[in-house]
Amino acid sequence: MDDLDSQSDVYSHNNNYVTWTRAGCSAGGLASFLHCDNFTSYLPANASVKCSSDAGFFLDERDIGLNHTIRSFYDDLITLQGVEQNLDKNCTSSLFYPKQCFFPQYALPFIRTPFFILNSAYDVFQFHHILVPPSADLQGRWNRCKLNPIACNTNQLDNLQAFRKDMLAALRLFFEYSRRGGMFINSCFAHCQSESQDTWFAPNSPRIHNKKQLEIGTLGEGSLRKLTVNILVTLPAIT
């Protein structure tokens, strides 16, 4: 951070203001939620700072066996790394279970820096490790469905649709009331969508206002709210 601070001083000297964007994918996207405001605090007061997360909105959701597998995993991780003290104090003081603030859905309302969220409502990592972790499917009944959603049976599709609805519900308040943030939530079976140049910058890649998502400069200019799609999510990818 000291090196980052010295660099920002250089840019501030050469410009009226400097724009910084803190972005990450998967675990890096989760880090954006957890450290966005702290990152901002290291920069000059005249810096324009925005944060974004690609596939980092990990949901606090029960698995198909109704167990809190991911919550238990995060609890152990927080204890192992001793990071509870670093979680947002406003968030931890508002919850009976402070460690839940490691989940973006609880931390998001307390983030002050403009924030843009890119995520799939059918995030495949969360499908495979939160909704249907190996511990919840010892018989392997979900194996074919995991490999190809077309192979999912009616009950499995219902579980996937319920997961999608819960993710949208967790994002709804931010979607409806945030004036400094934005989001693009789609129905792709994907994880970390913006990393692949071949697909993300292809002629048929996702666009908002005729701009390729996360195109260089897009997050640095204007309001993130303007980058939010008018509907919360595309039609379900599976019926």
Of 12, 26, 94, 187, the catalytic one is 26
123 or 226: whose pLDDT is higher?
Answer: 123
The Cβ of residue 235 has, within 10 Å, a number of other Cβ atoms equal to 7
Q: How confident is the model at residue 13 (pLDDT cuts 50, 70, 90)?
A: very low
- Give residue-wise pLDDT tens across range 29-67: 999 999 999 888 877 777 788 888 999 999 999 999 999
Q: Would you list the DSSP string of the chain?
A: -HHHHHHHHHHHHHSS--EEEEEEETHHHHHHHHHHHHHHHTS-TT-EEEEEEES--------TTS--HHHHHHHHHHHHHT-GGGS-HHHHTT-SSGGGGGSHHHHGGG--S-EEEEEETT-HHHIIIIIS-GGG-TT-TTHHHHH-GGG--HHHHHHHHHHHHHHHHHHHHHHHH-SS-EEEEE--S-SSTTS-HHHHTSTTS-EETTEETT-TTTTTSS-GGGGS-SSSSPSPS--
Averaged pLDDT for residues 158-187: 88
From residue 213, give the alpha-carbon distance in Å to each of 186, 217, 222. 12, 10, 14
pLDDT for res 221? 46
Residue 26 bears catalytic tag: yes
Per the CB < 8 A criterion, the answer to whether 160 and 123 are in contact is no
Of 54, 60, 88, 123, the catalytic one is 123
> 35 has which bridge partners?
none
Residue 209 bears catalytic tag: no
* % residues pLDDT > 70 (the chain): 73
Of 63, 88, 191, 194, the catalytic one is 191
pLDDT for res 218? 43
- Type of residue found at 164: R
- Give residue-wise pLDDT tens across range 109-138: 999 999 989 999 999 999 999 999 999 999
Spatial separation of the C-alpha atoms in residues 10 and 44, rounded to whole Å: 11
pTM, two decimal places = 0.80
Spatial separation of the C-alpha atoms in residues 195 and 99, rounded to whole Å: 30
Per the CB < 8 A criterion, the answer to whether 214 and 200 are in contact is yes
Spatial separation of the C-alpha atoms in residues 151 and 141, rounded to whole Å: 11
Residue 191 bears catalytic tag: yes
Q: How confident is the model at residue 167 (pLDDT cuts 50, 70, 90)?
A: very high
